[in-house]
Every structure is written in C-alpha cells, then in structure tokens.
Amino acid sequence: MSTVLYIKASPRAERSNSVLGPNTLVASYKQSRPDDAAVAIDLLQGDLPAFDGIDLQANHSIRFASLGNSMKEGIMFKRNLLYAILLFLLIFCITVPSDAFAGKKSEINTTWGKVAIKGYDTVAYFTMGEPVKGKKDFETTWKGAKWRFATAEHRDLFAADPEKYAPQYGGY
C-alpha cells in the first residue's frame, strides 16, 4: 500500500482553479488504486503568522500596475501551471518506490502490488494452455514476489520447481 501526500496551499480553497486539477488527479488516483491512502494537508488551516493584507495589496499593485489584463491572466496561468507540475512531481516522487530511483530492479516484475504476473496462475499457462486468474487462498512467495494460483495443486507444482514455471527474465 502506498500513501500519497497532497499539499494544499490556496487561500481560495475549492474556489481556486489551481486546486481543481490536483483534486481531480487525486480523486482519479484513489479510484484506480483503492488500497492506497491519500493524505491531504492544507497549509492554510493551521495558525499562520500575522500578515497585513495592505502589504499584500501593495506588493500586488506594484508588480502588476503596468501590465494589461491579458498579461496578468498569462502570468496567473503560468503560475498555476507551475503549481500543478510541482504537485504532480511531488505525488510521483512519493508513490514511486525508492528502488526505482536507486536504479535497482527486483528480480521478478511486481509492478502490480508485489504480485507476480498480475496475479495470474503461471502453472496454468503450462497445464491448461490459457491464462487463469489466481486466488489469494493459493498464494506462495518466491524471490520476493507473491505468486497466486487457481488451485492448491498448481501452487504445489510451482513450489516444487519454480524455475520450470516462472516466466523468463522475471516477467519483464
């Protein structure tokens, strides 16, 4: 199970267009990976140091005084795009296993939740000639990966000689 950290920092909260994209991304992620957790932290919910709104308004007036409306909208769009890209990178860095950054690759392809060959029964390819979905009830571990089988007999055949039934090159 992975955990996604979602950091919010928009003073306009759900009214902000820069929040809509990341909210949609996180919702889609949760839907596609229901076992994973998504933790949202809103930086503006806690206590912040006192800040005078007049200072903010003065800063904004000085920075944008000479720009037309289309230029201001362009700057805001670029800023929001930058925030969305940074959020995507943050989510990607948190969810990608650290081994991927270290250049390490497991011996068995387990890109689907530490389960080899997406949970299919590898012995069935040899005995039945077709893919059959394995069951958690008939599961064994070999080379750091979980292997699932349709029957206890298939699990026992694999356990007796895994090299015979395992996919070549670790399933990559």
Every domain of the chain and the residues it spans: 3-96, 116-171
Q: CB of 99 within 8 A of CB of 124?
A: no
Average pLDDT value for the chain? 76
* 98-119 residues labelled b (16+ CB within 10 A) or e (exposed): eeeeeeeebebbbeeeebbbeb
Q: What is the pLDDT of residues 5-63, one digit of tens each?
A: 777 777 776 677 777 777 888 888 888 888 888 887 776 666 555 555 665 666 566 55
pLDDT band for position 138 (50/70/90)? very high
E strand intervals along the chain: 3-8, 37-42, 135-142, 145-149
Q: CB of 119 within 8 A of CB of 112?
A: yes
- Token pair for residue 122? 């590898």
pLDDT band for position 80 (50/70/90)? confident
Q: CB-side exposure of 154: number of CA atoms within 13 Å?
A: 25
Least confident of 4-8, 22-26, 64-68, 85-89: 64-68
**How many Cβ atoms sit within 10 Å of the Cβ of residue 133?**
12
